[in-house]
Structure 1
Amino acid sequence: MDCSPGSWLRAPDSVLNVGLTGNIASGKSTVVELFRKWGATVIDADALAREAEAPGGAVLAAIARRFGADVLAQGGSLDRAALRAKVMGDDAALAALNAIVHPAVQQRRLELQRAAAERGDAIVINDIPLLFEVLDPAQFDAVVLIDAPVPLRRTRLRTLRGLSNEEADRMITAQMPAERKRPLSRHVVENDGTLAELEKKAQRVFAALRQQAARAGVRTEAPDQTLVLCALGAKDAAAPVLKAIERRYTDAGMRIEYATVKSLGKILKTITPLSIVATADAEDGARMAWEAAVPPRPCRLYHLSPDPDPIAVRLDLRPWGHDRVALSEEDGAGLAPRADLL
């Protein structure tokens, strides 16, 4: 397998594949946990590396052959401090280590990305400390860099890890300077203030990622077109699933119009929506209005159902803040699944 940076496989197109990185003591881990709390799927490169380096595996055996048996602790696990001492400040040794570990990590990352796509996850955050050092940033749909001034990072290393200034500087200079990473990053989060300030900055970036993820599903459609959500009445229209669909497609640049079974026919006389989504209670009424429109059946009609016919399911949707939703398309039985509502 070609493991050069340019050969890395991309994540499935249905997932917004985000690379998130930051130099040591930048606050990267704090932002990752915020993104996780807000609904992103997180793939932790360090955790994957530890998994790959487990005793008994081919990766650990290759590390021991290259760097010597003294990088193994009693019991056969990796002595990370001993290995760090051998590669710190030695570019050739670090490159050799990366060549051993990163192909296995990348393969496992791709497996997890595919699993996320199959679940209908919208945003995958790849937490990768050495993203620019060992990968091609072009493999990601967006790159987020967390950064902080070097003096502040040095202070954090002294305070939080008990390092001396010399030890802190050695760890800081071992990484590519953030100044080289900033022009290659779509989003830069400046972590030079309080935790509350960091959270506000991270929220703005996450909102932008959510819009990008939503728009990715409808990239072939012009913005400002209409999606109609049809319910039986006011109580049915307040269903959380409709509100979740509204949030997702508003982020995608679509105009959302609510209708009841009684008002749908009138709406279809004035606009031609790209799609209609009807609740289970509104299914029959929505179908009648859709068929009675002029011209009849002017757009796609989907039905929400707690137990949809698996043969007729055309779309598995994961709207914001809601579990995965299966929708049946009118006259869609036996046809290939669609990628999105529109």
Structure 2
Amino acid sequence: MSTIFFESGGTARPQLFLSQWLTRLRVPLDAWSRRRRWAVALLIFALVFGLGAHGWIVADLGGVGTSRAALAVSVQRLADARRALAQLPLLRRAAAATPVAPVVPATSPWSSADDVRIVSELAAQNGVALLAVEPGAAKGEGVERMRPLQLTARTDFVHLMAFLHGLADLPVLIVPADLTVKQDAAALSVSATLRVFSALRPVSANDAAHVLDDASLDSDDDEEVVFFDPFLQPQMRAAGEPPDVSPLRLVGVLCDRTRGVALLDTPDGATTIRTGQQLGGERVTKLDTLGITLVKDGTTRTLALAEAS
């Protein structure tokens, strides 16, 4: 016969243990022991320190992440430089094995006399009267070799523009530099320095057209350029204007809400005028941003600002 003993209260011990912990937690703070207070303080300190350290690392306040990224970029650049350096001997051998086309000297070398000849012919074709042509000493080597050509001429604006455009049709590249244009009583006085590059050739009109076609320009960018003669002195006369009225040109207008002033170019020089003033035999009756109105003996004429068109 066997006997089995059961210990009473086996299921009650866990409940008793939990109730004891709950009782300890309900103890007021002033009743806590020194040991318990230190344990809770250390626990809170560890929790706060862990959260702060995690935030410091995530925000990269110490710059560790940035430094690591910069180090990775530097390592990558160093690897690229080493690969390029390793390929350098191969590139040198390939360059040495490439045949170089020999430079064929020109059968008839271009000289300063040829510069003077072609420029004189171009000036004669475009109605430019050359007063002096002085070739200078050559500078540079190879394709950068350049000879300056000083010239002085007399012409008008239309023929000057035709002469400058004709430089692109010459057999050698000639670039105008230091161009000075002055107006005297009868014509324009021109002094310029032409830089002649005898080893280079200007781009032909057909090649320039192909370049523009390949560039796929918009229709707005393909408009024709029209040059306006800045030395033109137009005489703006109204219908029925008497022939003794002096020629005037309106240069500029400055006006506000109450008054204005206009700058005129007259045969006697530049002058300023306001509304109501007399200019010779004429009186200014109106002045605005569009122009001025002059009245003389019942005849009215308007001077507007001259614009390029």
TM-score range relative to shorter protein: under 0.3
The structure in which a higher percent of residues are strand is 2
TM-score of the aligned structures, taking structure 2 as reference length: 0.27
The structure in which a higher percent of residues are helix is 1
TM-score of the aligned structures, taking structure 1 as reference length: 0.25
Larger Rg: 2
Q: Which has the higher contact order (CA 8 A, sep 6+)?
A: 1
